[in-house]
Amino acid sequence: MEERKESVKEVKTSGKDDVLNGAKGERDGERKGECDGESKCEKNGQKQDERETGRDGERECESGGGDVRSKERENDESDDEERDNDDDNTCGRVCLVSGECGSGRSSLATLLATSWGCMDQQIPGLTQFQATIVTSSRALTNASRKCCLTKVLLPLSSLTHGTHNIHTWLLSSPVLLIIDDADHMDEKRAAEINRLVSQSEALSVMLLTEPTASEKKLSGIFSGLVSSRLYLHGYDREELLIVARDYLAEFSPTTDFKILKKFLTKNMCRLIKAVRFPRCLIQLCQAFASDAELVSEASTTTDLLWQLTWWGINKILESLPKEDNSRKKGEAWMMAAGRAAAHALRANTRLEGTHITELQQATSKLFTSKQAAQLLPTVLAVRRYHGCLQTDYTSQHSLQEQFLAAWYSGHQVVCGRSLHSIVGRPGGVGQVALFMGGLIPKVRREKGGLLQELDERRLVCAILNHTEVSSENLEFNFDLVVEVKATPQLLEYIVEGSEYPDEWNISVATVQLTPIQALLLNVSPTRIFLNVEKYKIYSELSIVIEFLLRVDIWVWLDSVSQFRYGDPGKLDRVVKGFLNDKAVTKVDLLCGCLSSRVLKELPSHPAMTHLVYLKLRVLDIAMLTTTLLTNKYLPKLLWLEVKIDFPILDLPEEKVRALPSCTAEMMDIHLQGVQDNEVSKLSTLLASIHTHYSGIHLHHTTLIPEGVYALLKQLHKLGVTLKSPSASRAKFRRWYYPQLSSCDPNTDINDQLALELLGFDDRIYYANHHIYSSCYAVTIDAWNLMNFLEEAEEIVHFTYTTTNLEFTKQLDGSVTVHQHTDDQHDHHNNNNNNNTAATKHT
């Protein structure tokens, strides 16, 4: 018995987060199980009667509960020792895994059960559980509310060994409980599971949910028990190619994967929305193997889903007599499926249950029972519910439901109905609207090409105004142009019904050539912000840059992440695209991290000679030297901001003094880790680089109030001011603010005039000094500092934050002291660290 206790404690300690960590890597196995059918583990498991764990709920042996296979069944029967159920220090843990319909939540549950059954070591910590129980909200709902939770989860075990003994075993043993569709649980069952987890010593629960409001409600019920949250995104761009290759090699060895790969990589940025779902990718592979030309023309998500849907329908229609008008039957079934999907969206549910019953009734009117039995599983998915012997048809993934609803909604909008009266206002209404745009040519073709201009305008108007602000949403507008393939007539309607901002904010991760090329021929933005947060393989970034080089427009290249301390990214790839001697594009802001080699090339290329604001993170003394030298050769550079991401104060003083001085009119500098005994070194560094600073930002320091006071005195003694020149501020305002760019060139936009024209005091941006320290301070210790700040007129704004206090010199000249908590200190420290040039003055 003592050995038994030790084993439980060992699992509880060493395997505390193993299953949760294992869930992070579940997708590899999930995908294999999804694509290869039965895995080796399943086949081996089926040979072992005591560990039988087949696919999609074959572990279940009785309606209302999932079976459990214990590795120490005989020992469990004799374990009669009472446990302390109220020990909060040894309660179980909950992992919340959310994902859209079709992302593989149910397959994940099957994978974990199967892997445990065949003792698979690929998922760390899974074999340390004595049992794995898989159930679903439907199984919990089907059981009588008077039936206790233990009987519902383990009906046979409770009958064989007694409910009390099984309940005691659940409280004391390392068990993994997986609940699919947990967001549909009623509150009573959820509360029972909450109590079970709270009272248990080693129970781990995985709740599989959709990312809906119910998930947030579930988080509230299990508040304090949720140790991790995961999200199933589906395949990434590289994974789906591997899965497609492996699947084709088994399903159709004679099919040339290279052709499919070329098709996917060419259209990846448009098709990834759909092919990231396992079922959609497998259906694409099957359709491609049967007829490569069938899907080769699908360049948008709408096209792909249209081709795949009709590929499934045509399998049935081909068996019908030619005189049976099979095409009309297919279109009628599509309309019936769209109606059911729209009703499901309006009810904010998945396409299943009563909505599938509605579709089955419509199908039976169009096809024979045999044909209907073949059609539904071909186009839709068959879902098996864990914990109960029930199956049902449902949509393959959330996009399919939205696509079908869009087909029905488009026809209804043409007839005069509003989109919201058809599908309501679910979270996916934006995607429904996009599909409606992509289906306009299909609707026109169905009506014999006789869709009236008024009807097309009505459709586009409904799409653009599916929410109150959607007509102003640039990202949605770009996606819509992609779905309609920039068709000239539809593009005209889109431009007429949209409101475009003066400055376009575009992410390089999702940028596409079609919308930028089409819209820049019809709209004239002031500048384009290219946000370089992360790169994605098979993107269209390079061809977008090639196009922008031929457009006379201002461009900002901004990366928030690359300006953070310790970030490994660099901006070289994007910047190199603009280093072209024939470029007419004007890059006037650049923020991120550049290698010294690329940095040296900036002044030699016309696109970069227009730089006004340069904000760089430097990694060594050579990069810092190159940055300080390069700014001399950028004729329009007004503001240089440098984040020093290496221990520069550890260098010999002669190296620091040898640094070139900055020639830009305005300068900000960022450092971290300054110690209280390094004030003299810091003042020497600052005086060597520049004589007046718009911002000094010191993070994670140990500076005490007297140290800050000494720093300010030394800078004053060395002739370093903490204020930018008035003329420089006027130039910057004229460049940055559109409403001031049209002012008379001879007008001096001073602080007072800027306040009148802008409506707010922007002086804080040109004297933005922050020092964050981990020391604990009292007000009396900062007496000298506060007096100095009050008397120093050249210091317009200054903030010194310690662990408990914040000293601030306000714009009106007063000095205030504010008390805060450690959490607030860390929050402000991190937020300031992540400030970017593009948002600094907004």
Question: Which sequence spans correspond to the domains of the chain?
Answer: 2-232, 237-299, 324-446, 647-724+767-842
> Does the structure show a pLDDT above 90 at 534?
no
C-alpha to C-alpha distance for 125 and 18, rounded to whole angstroms: 5
> Does the structure show a pLDDT above 80 at 310?
yes
CB 779 within 8 A of CB 700: no
pLDDT digits (tens, 9 = 90+) for 707-728: 999 999 999 999 999 999 999 9
Q: Which among 715, 710, 754, 698 has a CA at the least distance from the CA of 731? A: 754
Go through the chain and tell me how many residues it has: 842
> Does the structure show a pLDDT above 60 at 9?
no
The CATH topology of domain 2-232 is Rossmann fold (3.40.50)
pLDDT digits (tens, 9 = 90+) for 625-673: 999 999 899 999 999 999 999 999 999 999 999 999 999 999 999 999 9
CB burial class (10 A; 0-12, 13-18, 19+) of residue 821? exposed
- Residue 829 — pLDDT band, cuts 50, 70, 90? low
Which CATH number does 647-724+767-842 carry?
3.80.10
pLDDT digits (tens, 9 = 90+) for 315-325: 888 877 766 66
More confident residue, 775 or 147: 775
Tokens of 350: 């998945």
C-alpha to C-alpha distance for 643 and 647, rounded to whole angstroms: 12
pLDDT digits (tens, 9 = 90+) for 74-95: 333 333 333 333 334 445 689 9
Q: Give the model's pLDDT for residue 232.
A: 93
- Taking residues 545-552, report their average pLDDT: 96
> Does the structure show a pLDDT above 60 at 366?
yes
Least confident of 362-366, 510-514, 719-723, 831-835: 831-835
- Taking residues 751-759, report their average pLDDT: 92
More confident residue, 745 or 14: 745
C-alpha angle 717-719-721 in degrees, rounded to nearest 5 = 110
Exposure pattern of 21-52 as b/e (b: 16+ CB <10 Å)? bbbeebbebbbbbbbeeebebbeebbeeeebb
Exposure pattern of 755-791 as b/e (b: 16+ CB <10 Å)? eeeeeeebbbbbbbbbbbbebebeeebbeebbebbee
Q: Give the model's pLDDT for residue 821.
A: 67
- Residue 826 — pLDDT band, cuts 50, 70, 90? low
Q: Give the model's pLDDT for residue 316.
A: 87
- Residue 541 — pLDDT band, cuts 50, 70, 90? very high
- Taking residues 379-383, report their average pLDDT: 92
Q: Give the model's pLDDT for residue 448.
A: 75
Strands (E), 447-576: 503-507, 527-531, 554-558
Q: Give the model's pLDDT for residue 751.
A: 92
> Does the structure show a pLDDT above 90 at 26?
no
pLDDT digits (tens, 9 = 90+) for 245-282: 999 999 999 999 999 999 999 999 999 999 999 999 99
Q: Give the model's pLDDT for residue 28.
A: 40
- Residue 54 — pLDDT band, cuts 50, 70, 90? very low
Q: What is the pTM of this model?
A: 0.83
C-alpha to C-alpha distance for 816 and 105, rounded to whole angstroms: 54
More confident residue, 348 or 73: 348
Q: Give the model's pLDDT for residue 803.
A: 93
Tokens of 608: 């970069």
- Residue 789 — pLDDT band, cuts 50, 70, 90? very high
* 592 Ramachandran zone, left/alpha/beta (phi>0; psi -120 to 50): left
